[in-house]
Protein backbone atom coordinates (compact mmCIF):
# COMPACT_ATOMS: atom_id res chain seq x y z
CA UNK A 1 0.00 0.00 0.00
CA UNK A 2 1.08 3.59 -0.61
CA UNK A 3 2.39 5.34 2.49
CA UNK A 4 1.42 8.78 1.14
CA UNK A 5 -0.18 10.86 3.94
CA UNK A 6 -2.99 12.47 1.91
CA UNK A 7 -6.55 11.51 2.87
CA UNK A 8 -7.55 12.06 -0.75
CA UNK A 9 -7.10 9.31 -3.33
CA UNK A 10 -7.46 11.90 -6.11
CA UNK A 11 -6.74 15.60 -5.65
CA UNK A 12 -6.41 17.42 -8.97
CA UNK A 13 -7.05 21.00 -10.05
CA UNK A 14 -7.33 22.49 -13.50
CA UNK A 15 -6.84 19.14 -15.26
CA UNK A 16 -6.77 19.88 -18.99
CA UNK A 17 -6.05 17.88 -22.14
CA UNK A 18 -6.03 19.12 -25.72
CA UNK A 19 -5.72 17.23 -28.98
CA UNK A 20 -4.61 19.82 -31.49
CA UNK A 21 -7.02 22.74 -31.17
CA UNK A 22 -9.68 20.60 -29.48
CA UNK A 23 -10.04 20.57 -25.70
CA UNK A 24 -11.11 17.12 -24.50
CA UNK A 25 -10.87 17.91 -20.77
CA UNK A 26 -11.27 21.53 -19.70
CA UNK A 27 -9.88 22.58 -16.29
CA UNK A 28 -11.48 19.81 -14.21
CA UNK A 29 -11.10 19.70 -10.41
CA UNK A 30 -11.67 16.43 -8.51
CA UNK A 31 -11.19 15.76 -4.78
CA UNK A 32 -11.95 12.10 -4.04
CA UNK A 33 -11.42 10.64 -0.54
CA UNK A 34 -9.74 7.28 -0.08
CA UNK A 35 -11.85 4.21 0.54
CA UNK A 36 -14.94 5.35 -1.37
CA UNK A 37 -16.69 4.21 -4.55
CA UNK A 38 -17.13 7.10 -6.97
CA UNK A 39 -19.16 7.11 -10.15
CA UNK A 40 -17.87 9.01 -13.18
CA UNK A 41 -20.72 9.94 -15.51
CA UNK A 42 -21.25 11.85 -18.72
CA UNK A 43 -22.35 11.44 -22.33
CA UNK A 44 -20.22 9.77 -24.99
CA UNK A 45 -17.40 12.08 -26.00
CA UNK A 46 -17.49 13.91 -22.67
CA UNK A 47 -13.84 13.29 -21.73
CA UNK A 48 -14.31 10.54 -19.13
CA UNK A 49 -11.80 8.09 -20.60
CA UNK A 50 -9.27 10.87 -21.25
CA UNK A 51 -9.60 12.00 -17.62
CA UNK A 52 -9.18 8.49 -16.26
CA UNK A 53 -6.08 7.94 -18.40
CA UNK A 54 -4.53 11.16 -17.07
CA UNK A 55 -5.32 10.25 -13.48
CA UNK A 56 -3.72 6.81 -13.69
CA UNK A 57 -0.55 7.98 -15.43
CA UNK A 58 -1.26 6.73 -18.95
CA UNK A 59 -1.70 10.17 -20.49
CA UNK A 60 0.09 13.40 -19.63
CA UNK A 61 -2.04 16.45 -18.83
CA UNK A 62 -1.38 19.65 -20.78
CA UNK A 63 -2.38 21.81 -17.83
CA UNK A 64 -3.27 21.30 -14.20
CA UNK A 65 -1.68 19.74 -11.19
CA UNK A 66 -2.42 17.37 -8.37
CA UNK A 67 -1.97 13.89 -7.03
CA UNK A 68 -3.35 10.38 -7.37
CA UNK A 69 -2.74 8.20 -4.30
CA UNK A 70 -0.39 10.88 -3.05
CA UNK A 71 1.81 10.79 -6.17
CA UNK A 72 2.23 13.71 -8.53
CA UNK A 73 0.23 13.00 -11.70
CA UNK A 74 2.91 14.63 -13.88
CA UNK A 75 6.19 13.62 -12.24
CA UNK A 76 5.32 10.24 -10.69
CA UNK A 77 3.20 8.48 -13.29
CA UNK A 78 5.18 5.24 -12.93
CA UNK A 79 4.40 5.02 -9.21
CA UNK A 80 0.72 5.65 -9.93
CA UNK A 81 0.61 2.89 -12.56
CA UNK A 82 2.03 0.43 -10.03
CA UNK A 83 -0.63 1.26 -7.44
CA UNK A 84 -3.70 1.43 -9.69
CA UNK A 85 -5.72 -1.35 -11.31
CA UNK A 86 -7.11 -0.07 -14.62
CA UNK A 87 -9.89 -1.87 -16.47
CA UNK A 88 -10.55 -0.67 -20.02
CA UNK A 89 -13.88 -0.58 -21.85
CA UNK A 90 -12.80 -3.34 -24.21
CA UNK A 91 -11.82 -6.80 -22.98
CA UNK A 92 -8.03 -6.72 -23.28
CA UNK A 93 -6.87 -10.17 -22.14
CA UNK A 94 -5.89 -13.24 -24.13
CA UNK A 95 -8.82 -15.18 -25.54
CA UNK A 96 -6.72 -18.21 -26.50
CA UNK A 97 -5.61 -18.68 -22.87
CA UNK A 98 -7.68 -20.12 -20.04
CA UNK A 99 -8.84 -17.97 -17.14
CA UNK A 100 -6.05 -19.35 -14.97
CA UNK A 101 -3.40 -18.91 -17.66
CA UNK A 102 -4.45 -15.28 -18.10
CA UNK A 103 -4.08 -14.59 -14.39
CA UNK A 104 -0.75 -16.42 -14.19
CA UNK A 105 0.53 -14.37 -17.13
CA UNK A 106 -0.51 -11.11 -15.46
CA UNK A 107 1.11 -12.21 -12.20
CA UNK A 108 4.35 -12.86 -14.10
CA UNK A 109 4.19 -9.42 -15.71
CA UNK A 110 3.99 -7.81 -12.26
CA UNK A 111 6.73 -10.07 -10.91
CA UNK A 112 4.50 -11.12 -8.02
CA UNK A 113 5.67 -13.60 -5.40
CA UNK A 114 3.81 -16.81 -4.51
CA UNK A 115 2.00 -16.58 -7.83
CA UNK A 116 0.23 -19.91 -7.70
CA UNK A 117 -1.26 -19.24 -4.26
CA UNK A 118 -2.19 -15.69 -5.28
CA UNK A 119 -3.97 -16.86 -8.41
CA UNK A 120 -5.78 -19.56 -6.42
CA UNK A 121 -6.99 -16.97 -3.92
CA UNK A 122 -8.13 -14.57 -6.64
CA UNK A 123 -9.99 -17.30 -8.51
CA UNK A 124 -11.90 -18.14 -5.33
CA UNK A 125 -12.66 -14.52 -4.40
CA UNK A 126 -14.06 -13.67 -7.82
CA UNK A 127 -16.00 -16.94 -8.21
CA UNK A 128 -13.84 -18.11 -11.10
CA UNK A 129 -12.37 -21.30 -9.63
CA UNK A 130 -14.83 -23.68 -11.27
CA UNK A 131 -14.17 -22.09 -14.69
CA UNK A 132 -10.41 -21.66 -14.39
CA UNK A 133 -9.68 -24.06 -17.27
CA UNK A 134 -12.14 -22.41 -19.64
CA UNK A 135 -10.72 -20.42 -22.56
CA UNK A 136 -11.31 -16.68 -22.11
CA UNK A 137 -12.61 -16.41 -25.66
CA UNK A 138 -15.55 -18.69 -24.85
CA UNK A 139 -16.74 -16.62 -21.88
CA UNK A 140 -19.89 -14.49 -21.89
CA UNK A 141 -19.58 -10.75 -21.40
CA UNK A 142 -20.27 -10.97 -17.67
CA UNK A 143 -17.61 -13.62 -17.07
CA UNK A 144 -15.08 -11.69 -19.15
CA UNK A 145 -15.71 -8.67 -16.95
CA UNK A 146 -15.13 -10.80 -13.87
CA UNK A 147 -11.85 -12.10 -15.31
CA UNK A 148 -10.76 -8.54 -16.11
CA UNK A 149 -11.57 -7.47 -12.56
CA UNK A 150 -9.55 -10.38 -11.19
CA UNK A 151 -6.57 -9.46 -13.39
CA UNK A 152 -6.52 -5.80 -12.36
CA UNK A 153 -6.69 -6.62 -8.63
CA UNK A 154 -3.96 -9.31 -8.65
CA UNK A 155 -1.20 -6.88 -7.64
CA UNK A 156 -3.21 -5.58 -4.65
CA UNK A 157 -3.63 -2.01 -5.92
CA UNK A 158 -4.73 0.87 -3.70
CA UNK A 159 -7.25 2.00 -6.28
CA UNK A 160 -9.33 0.65 -9.16
CA UNK A 161 -10.23 2.75 -12.20
CA UNK A 162 -12.91 1.00 -14.21
CA UNK A 163 -13.96 2.43 -17.58
CA UNK A 164 -17.59 1.42 -18.28
CA UNK A 165 -16.97 -2.11 -16.98
CA UNK A 166 -20.56 -3.35 -17.29
CA UNK A 167 -21.41 -2.02 -20.76
CA UNK A 168 -23.19 -4.71 -22.75
CA UNK A 169 -23.62 -7.27 -19.96
CA UNK A 170 -26.94 -8.56 -18.64
CA UNK A 171 -28.61 -7.13 -15.49
CA UNK A 172 -27.70 -10.11 -13.29
CA UNK A 173 -24.05 -9.92 -14.34
CA UNK A 174 -24.08 -6.18 -13.62
CA UNK A 175 -25.48 -6.81 -10.15
CA UNK A 176 -22.90 -9.53 -9.43
CA UNK A 177 -20.11 -7.25 -10.64
CA UNK A 178 -21.22 -4.45 -8.32
CA UNK A 179 -21.40 -6.86 -5.41
CA UNK A 180 -17.72 -7.56 -6.04
CA UNK A 181 -16.95 -3.83 -6.25
CA UNK A 182 -18.53 -3.18 -2.87
CA UNK A 183 -16.76 -6.18 -1.36
CA UNK A 184 -13.42 -4.77 -2.51
CA UNK A 185 -14.35 -1.32 -1.23
CA UNK A 186 -15.22 -2.78 2.17
CA UNK A 187 -11.69 -4.18 2.25
CA UNK A 188 -10.29 -0.65 1.84
CA UNK A 189 -9.95 -0.31 -1.93
CA UNK A 190 -10.83 3.03 -3.54
CA UNK A 191 -12.85 2.74 -6.75
CA UNK A 192 -13.56 5.18 -9.58
CA UNK A 193 -15.96 3.71 -12.14
CA UNK A 194 -17.40 5.33 -15.25
CA UNK A 195 -20.91 4.28 -16.21
CA UNK A 196 -23.97 5.27 -18.24
CA UNK A 197 -26.38 3.45 -15.91
CA UNK A 198 -28.27 5.58 -13.38
CA UNK A 199 -28.88 2.64 -11.04
CA UNK A 200 -25.11 2.08 -10.91
CA UNK A 201 -24.49 5.76 -10.19
CA UNK A 202 -26.84 5.49 -7.23
CA UNK A 203 -24.71 2.64 -5.84
CA UNK A 204 -21.75 5.04 -5.50
CA UNK A 205 -20.77 7.09 -2.45
CA UNK A 206 -20.36 10.14 -4.66
CA UNK A 207 -20.47 10.95 -8.35
CA UNK A 208 -18.69 13.23 -10.79
CA UNK A 209 -20.59 14.40 -13.87
CA UNK A 210 -18.58 15.70 -16.83
CA UNK A 211 -20.08 16.92 -20.11
CA UNK A 212 -17.97 17.73 -23.17
CA UNK A 213 -14.84 18.23 -21.11
CA UNK A 214 -16.35 20.42 -18.39
CA UNK A 215 -17.14 19.39 -14.83
CA UNK A 216 -20.87 19.94 -14.27
CA UNK A 217 -21.50 18.40 -10.83
CA UNK A 218 -19.70 16.55 -8.05
CA UNK A 219 -20.94 15.12 -4.75
CA UNK A 220 -23.52 12.80 -3.22
CA UNK A 221 -26.46 11.88 -5.42
CA UNK A 222 -29.02 13.44 -3.06
CA UNK A 223 -27.00 16.66 -2.77
CA UNK A 224 -26.64 16.97 -6.56
CA UNK A 225 -30.40 16.53 -6.98
CA UNK A 226 -31.10 19.11 -4.26
CA UNK A 227 -28.67 21.64 -5.75
CA UNK A 228 -30.09 21.28 -9.26
CA UNK A 229 -33.04 23.57 -8.53
CA UNK A 230 -35.14 21.25 -10.65
CA UNK A 231 -38.82 20.38 -10.14
CA UNK A 232 -40.53 17.37 -11.75
CA UNK A 233 -44.13 16.42 -12.45
CA UNK A 234 -45.01 12.91 -13.57
CA UNK A 235 -47.93 11.95 -15.79
CA UNK A 236 -49.28 8.40 -16.01
CA UNK A 237 -52.29 6.82 -17.64
CA UNK A 238 -53.97 6.12 -20.99
CA UNK A 239 -52.73 8.34 -23.78
CA UNK A 240 -49.88 9.84 -21.81
CA UNK A 241 -47.48 9.23 -24.70
CA UNK A 242 -49.51 11.61 -26.84
CA UNK A 243 -48.70 14.42 -24.41
CA UNK A 244 -44.93 14.27 -24.89
CA UNK A 245 -44.68 16.23 -28.15
CA UNK A 246 -47.42 18.65 -27.09
CA UNK A 247 -45.57 19.54 -23.91
CA UNK A 248 -42.11 20.00 -25.42
CA UNK A 249 -41.18 23.65 -25.78
CA UNK A 250 -44.05 24.85 -23.59
CA UNK A 251 -43.29 27.52 -20.94
CA UNK A 252 -42.03 25.80 -17.79
CA UNK A 253 -41.19 22.49 -19.49
CA UNK A 254 -37.41 22.64 -19.72
CA UNK A 255 -37.19 18.87 -20.24
CA UNK A 256 -39.78 16.26 -21.22
CA UNK A 257 -38.80 12.58 -21.21
CA UNK A 258 -40.54 9.22 -21.08
CA UNK A 259 -39.44 6.68 -18.44
CA UNK A 260 -41.14 3.30 -18.36
CA UNK A 261 -44.86 4.04 -18.24
CA UNK A 262 -44.51 7.62 -17.01
CA UNK A 263 -43.84 10.99 -18.59
CA UNK A 264 -41.43 13.24 -16.65
CA UNK A 265 -41.81 16.99 -17.15
CA UNK A 266 -39.09 19.02 -15.42
CA UNK A 267 -38.12 22.64 -15.07
CA UNK A 268 -36.61 25.24 -12.78
CA UNK A 269 -39.75 27.41 -12.45
CA UNK A 270 -42.22 25.63 -10.18
CA UNK A 271 -45.06 28.11 -10.75
CA UNK A 272 -44.72 27.82 -14.54
CA UNK A 273 -44.74 24.01 -14.25
CA UNK A 274 -47.89 24.09 -12.15
CA UNK A 275 -49.63 26.29 -14.72
CA UNK A 276 -48.55 23.91 -17.48
CA UNK A 277 -49.84 20.85 -15.64
CA UNK A 278 -53.14 22.61 -14.95
CA UNK A 279 -53.51 23.33 -18.67
CA UNK A 280 -52.97 19.69 -19.63
CA UNK A 281 -55.43 17.88 -17.40
CA UNK A 282 -56.38 15.19 -19.90
CA UNK A 283 -58.98 12.48 -19.32
CA UNK A 284 -57.28 9.25 -18.26
CA UNK A 285 -54.00 10.95 -17.28
CA UNK A 286 -53.01 11.46 -13.65
CA UNK A 287 -50.40 14.07 -12.64
CA UNK A 288 -48.31 14.18 -9.48
CA UNK A 289 -45.26 16.12 -8.33
CA UNK A 290 -42.23 14.09 -7.26
CA UNK A 291 -38.66 14.75 -6.32
CA UNK A 292 -36.51 14.69 -9.49
CA UNK A 293 -34.52 11.51 -10.05
CA UNK A 294 -30.90 11.41 -11.09
CA UNK A 295 -31.73 10.99 -14.76
CA UNK A 296 -33.98 14.07 -14.68
CA UNK A 297 -31.06 16.05 -13.29
CA UNK A 298 -28.57 14.72 -15.85
CA UNK A 299 -30.89 15.61 -18.72
CA UNK A 300 -31.06 19.08 -17.16
CA UNK A 301 -27.26 19.29 -16.91
CA UNK A 302 -26.90 18.12 -20.50
CA UNK A 303 -29.11 20.99 -21.56
CA UNK A 304 -26.71 23.40 -19.85
CA UNK A 305 -23.62 22.00 -21.57
CA UNK A 306 -22.24 22.78 -25.01
CA UNK A 307 -21.88 19.80 -27.33
CA UNK A 308 -18.65 19.95 -29.31
CA UNK A 309 -19.13 17.29 -31.99
CA UNK A 310 -15.47 17.54 -32.93
CA UNK A 311 -14.38 16.57 -29.43
CA UNK A 312 -11.67 13.93 -29.24
CA UNK A 313 -11.73 11.32 -26.49
CA UNK A 314 -14.51 9.33 -24.90
CATH of the domain at 279: 3.30.70
- Residue-range definition of the domain harbouring residue 253: 231-291
Same domain (yes/no): 210, 267: no
The predicted model scores a pTM of 0.83
Same domain, 89 and 173: yes
DSSP state of 98: B
CB 198, CB 294: distance < 8 Å: yes
169 and 240 in a single domain? The answer is no
- As for how many domains the chain has, the answer is 2
The values of phi and psi at residue 167, to 5°, are: -60, 125
- Residue 310: is its pLDDT beyond 70? no
Encode pLDDT of 150-199 as tens digits: 999 999 999 999 998 888 778 888 888 899 899 999 988 999 999 888 88
The 10s digit of each residue's pLDDT in 185-223 is 998 899 999 988 888 898 999 999 998 889 999 999 999
Are 154 and 137 in the same domain? Answer: yes
DSSP structure class, residue 187: T
Do residues 124 and 270 share a domain? Answer: no
What is the distance between the alpha carbons of residues 151 and 136, in angstroms, rounded to a whole number? Answer: 12
Amino acid sequence: MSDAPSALAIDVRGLTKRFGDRTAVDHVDIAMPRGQVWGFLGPNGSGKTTTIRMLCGLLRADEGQGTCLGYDIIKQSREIKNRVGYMTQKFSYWEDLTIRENLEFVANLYGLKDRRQLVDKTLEQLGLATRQKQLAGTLSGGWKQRLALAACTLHSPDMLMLDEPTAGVDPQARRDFWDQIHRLSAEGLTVLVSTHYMDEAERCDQIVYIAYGKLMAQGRVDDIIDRSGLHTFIAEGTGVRDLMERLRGQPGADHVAYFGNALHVSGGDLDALRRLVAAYQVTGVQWRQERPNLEDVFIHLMGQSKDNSLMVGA
